[in-house]
């Protein structure tokens, strides 16, 4: 984006990148007359976006979501004795992840 002359008509940046692109002149203000669904956007998400793009002059939310992770704590405790069940070490330490691989636990 910041290299210039990309020829893109639409970009989908992360919210924290919008101020950089605005400051660099890499993106143009939205033509809100063409965005007929703006009134349907979730107010809480619009409020979250406000610090990155006051008044949503250059951006609107494209998507938002969460990821849930479920596990059987007894099964994990048996495979990983002594590892804190509420720690990311369960999946971020390769030696722990290796012990869970046959359960279908992978990082992509």
Q: Tell me: the pLDDT tens digits for 84-106?
A: 888 888 888 899 988 888 888 76
13, 55, 57, 77, 88 from 39: Cα distances, Å: 22, 13, 14, 48, 39
Distance in angstroms (rounded) separating the CA atoms of residues 40 and 60: 11
The confidence score (pLDDT) of residue 67 equals 76
More confident residue, 108 or 27: 27
Domain ranges of the chain: 1-63, 73-103
Average pLDDT over the chain, rounded to whole?
Answer: 87
Longest dimension (CA), the chain: 59
Q: How confident is the model at residue 1 (pLDDT cuts 50, 70, 90)?
A: low
**Using an 8 Å Cβ cutoff, are 88 and 107 in contact?**
no
52-74: average pLDDT = 88
Q: How confident is the model at residue 10 (pLDDT cuts 50, 70, 90)?
A: confident
The confidence score (pLDDT) of residue 6 equals 73
- The residues, ordered by sequence, that sit 6+ positions from 26 with a Cβ below 8 Å of its Cβ are 1, 2, 4, 20
């Amino acid at each position: 984006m910041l290299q210039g002359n990309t020829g893109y008509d639409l970009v989908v940046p992360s919210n924290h990148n919008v101020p950089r692109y605005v400051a660099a002149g890499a993106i143009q203000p939205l033509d809100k007359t063409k965005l007929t669904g703006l009134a349907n956007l979730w107010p809480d998400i619009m409020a979250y976006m406000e610090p990155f793009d006051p008044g949503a002059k250059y951006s609107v939310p494209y998507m938002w979501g969460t990821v849930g992770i479920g596990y059987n704590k007894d099964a994990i405790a048996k495979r990983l004795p002594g590892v804190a069940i509420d720690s990311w070490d369960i999946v971020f330490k390769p030696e722990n992840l290796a012990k869970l691989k046959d359960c279908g636990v992978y990082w992509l």
